Homo-oligomer: A and B are copies of this chain.
Amino acid sequence: MTVIRAALLGFGTVGQGVYNIAQQRREQLKQKLGGAELLIVKILVRDLHKRNRVLPDGFADDAKLLTDNIEDVFCAGVQVVFEAMVGEEPAFTYLRRAIVEHGCSVITANKVMFARYGPVLQELAASCTPTSSSCPATRLYVGFEATVAAGVPIIKTLQNMCHVQRVRKIEGIVNGTSNYILTEMREHPEKTFEEVLRKAQELGYAEADPTNDVSGQDAFMKLLVMVAIAFGHQPDRSTIPVTGIDTLTLEMLQDARAKGLRYRHVVSAAMETEAESSRPLTTPVVEGEGAGLCTRPLPERLTCSVTPRLLGPEHPLYYMDGTTSAVSVETDYLGVVTISGPGAGMYCTASALMEDYAVWMEAFRRP
């Protein structure tokens, strides 16, 4: 029997979701992935002696899974590391070591870390191989579907598209809290921002400290992750304007309502060429040698922003209400493709991590 030994870094909502799914879908995964069985052998928490720790139902640490020492994780001989921590460090250092020192694949939900270090981790993984000879995979993998829009599969869709398509524009609603607040304020014009925020907190949609969400910083990180895939490089952060929904006034919202328009908090990245700026956006751009179809592309310019925008009913994001996340991608061959779904939640996010694991095992498994 093939066993894949895994570690979990972080055991909050998302980490516990991963743990639960690994238990619930043990047989399904094994059957779909050539008999390989996923076994979580270590779980890193910040403080082992934390009081009032909330644990999954039925979880008793009989097998001594929990540790607050990363060396215990690396000593456990793991082949894949699931990371659901917060912030750039120590998450990046742990994942870098997992790849370089231990030949592990890594799967992360940490957008702040990945927005900064994603390309570094991908390069490291491409130059290393699984060190464990019992690992049934031939290559290391860096999974990060869960960093943007939870389980809504925007990352793999973008990655697949980019083999063949040229992305011209990305627009997305990627912060469920902001979209929930904007939706509620539109539907209940009598409520204040504070009232709506409080309700969002009660429903578990907003954090106790909502600054990251309402200021646009959370959405900004997700934009950076998408831009790196779609356009192949990380833009200079300081050149991107970031405005949150906290800049909107009641008057602005009322005015939008009166005009039949809707405010959405939109992240966007658009590649423009001089020639294209006057061309309708759904025409395929063709170039290069071959069927005698075209000329070389003109110099390109990438413009990014994170800001509340007033949209009309012709826009695909106009209809995305509540905590929905949605991303529209416009490419030269395809036109506009839109993906939407629930952008947050324990199982939405955790299942994205587990799907990354399955895709890795499916694609890179030894024949």
Contact = CB atoms under 8 A, between A and B. Distances in A.
| Majority secondary structure, A binding face | mixed
B334 A290 contact: no
A12 interface: no
Interface string A285-307: 01111111110000000000000
A153 B163 contact: no
Contacts of A164: 21, 25, 28-29, 351, 354-355, 358
Contacts of A240: none
Contacts of A293: 20, 23-24, 57-58
B24 A288 contact: yes
Given A27-B288, A58-B292, A341 B342 contact: no
A90 to B, nearest CB: 27
Given A23-B291, A291-B58, A163 B334 contact: no
User: Which of A56, A347, A366 gathers the greatest number of chain B CB atoms within 10 Å?
Assistant: A347
B160 A359 contact: yes
Given A336-B341, A342-B335, A364-B363, A292 B156 contact: no
B153 A161 contact: yes
A58 B293 CA distance: 8
Contacts of A11: none
Copies per complex?
2
B333 A351 contact: yes
Contacts of A366: 138
Contact of A56 (B24, B29, B161, B291): B291
Given A342-B334, A342-B335, A163 B32 contact: yes
A26 B290 contact: yes
B347 A341 contact: no
Nearest to A367: B138
Contact-size category for A: 35 or more
Contacts of A156: 156-157, 160
A284 interface: yes
A337 interface: yes
Interface in A82-141: 129, 138-139
Contacts of A350: 333
A33 interface: yes
A244 interface: no
B341 A334 contact: yes
B289 A26 contact: yes
Contacts of A129: 367
User: Which of A19, A56, A160, A287 gathers the greatest number of chain B CB atoms within 10 Å?
Assistant: A160
Report, nearest first, the 4 A-B pairs whose CB atoms are least far apart. Answer: A23-B290, A58-B292, A163-B358, A363-B363
Given A23-B291, A335-B348, 6 more contacts: A28-B164, A56-B291, A138-B366, A151-B334, A152-B337, A334-B347
19 contacts: A19-B291, A20-B291, A22-B290, A26-B289, A56-B291, A57-B292, A58-B291, A138-B138, A152-B334, A153-B337, A164-B355, A316-B340, A319-B319, A333-B347, A334-B342, A334-B348, A337-B342, A338-B340, A362-B363
